[in-house]
Amino acid sequence: MSPQEIKIEDSNFGSPEMPSVTPKRKSKALVLSVFVVITAFVLGIIGGMFAIVVLFTNNGAIANKLGVKNVGNLSIGTTTTQKLVLQESNAVIDASKKVSPSVVSIVSKSTYQNLFGQTVQSQGAGTGFIITNDGLILTNKHVVSDTNTQYTVVLADGRSFDATVQSLDPTQDLAVVKIDANNLPVVELGDSDQLVVGQWVVAVGNALGQYQNTVTQGVISGVNRSVQASDSTGTTSEDLTGLLQTDAAINPGNSGGPLVNLAGQVIGINTAVASNAQGIGFAIPINVAKTAIDSIKATGKIVRPYLGVRYIQITKDIAQQNNLSVDYGALVIRGNGLGQVAVVPGSPADKAGIVENDIILEINGEKVDVDHSLVNLIQQYKIGDTITLRILSKGDEKDVKVVLQQSQ
């Protein structure tokens, strides 16, 4: 048996699945393929250029008919970036720049002896704002109420001045201090009666007593609020009515600082914060302070008419809880502290015969309610004016005449 010859064929040529091709025929096929590809590429470029010319013809008239918009204004290969400007943000910046030069820090230093006979020095801080260019500054009464304390005012530019307490408001948490300086920047006062809930506001103050002229923003959350404000120790308290509520952050040290609208006008004086909540702060409306400002400019001290009663504002809830026959008015009631009587002895109310548990319903025909507090209505009149009060006393209504006196 002769050996069998075995032929190994190339896997690319001569396989049963693919017919064998000679080298000459392969070259012709390759040339034809390249020609077809190049021709298609060239025709594609020509077709694309023709389409662009057609679309831009007559300022894109043909393109518009085909539903392609703004073709005539296209800029091929160009990108543009637009800067988004937030008007509210700019307004906050402008308001802050306008009021900040007139905002001051008020630093208090006092020395006392503790139970062990050791001398201890304490320091506190608050805020105020300049109301006259010769150095009158408005702040909260509780910021400068300690008569044994030395006060220093630090201006926005860093200068420091010894300060004297010019006057304390007897009916509101307001005070005026004086520094020996001239040509100072003065705030512009707005109209707090025109405020609406939801309006943007800015608070400026000496936050925590160490961050001077801190700016926070928020909105007016409510108006005509009533609160009982107390100091950090809880030893002293004061009933405040007709307040503005805001969610602009108010921290310790902000007391006495301005609450400002987006026009940079002061519309309130920051005075209290709800310690058991977030975003609930209160400010005295600037219109309440305007009479005090006018008084101190004219007489050198804050002079106000007063009635001489301690009261709570009656609401529907208070009326239901206490089974009252009316859901408005001012209920004359004593305070919880020592000496906080319902009616001040010798006051106009005392002389008119008003007693504890009486309800003052109206002043000169104007109803006393949550929108028109007793203290705010009284401030509409002058010392020496005679007003008529409608009183609900022991179930009977009666009118009494009261002559307003200067608060003591």
Q: Which residues participate in catalysis according to the annotation?
A: 142, 173, 255
**How, if at all, do strands 188-189 and 150-154 pair?**
unpaired
Cα–Cα distance, 171 to 282 (Å, whole number): 17
Q: What is the DSSP letter of 202?
A: E
Q: Token match 């006092």: residue?
A: 110
Cα–Cα distance, 282 to 238 (Å, whole number): 13
Radius of gyration of the chain (CA): 40
Q: Token match 């700019």: residue?
A: 90
Work out whether the CA dihedral 206, 209, 211, 216 comes out positive or negative: negative
For residues 166-204, one letter each, b for 16 or more C-beta atoms within 10 angstroms of the residue's C-beta and e for the rest, the string is bbbbebbbbbbbbbeeeebbebebbebeebeeeebbbbb
Cα–Cα distance, 183 to 181 (Å, whole number): 7
Main-chain phi, psi angles of 378, to 5 degrees: -60, -35
Cα–Cα distance, 355 to 350 (Å, whole number): 7
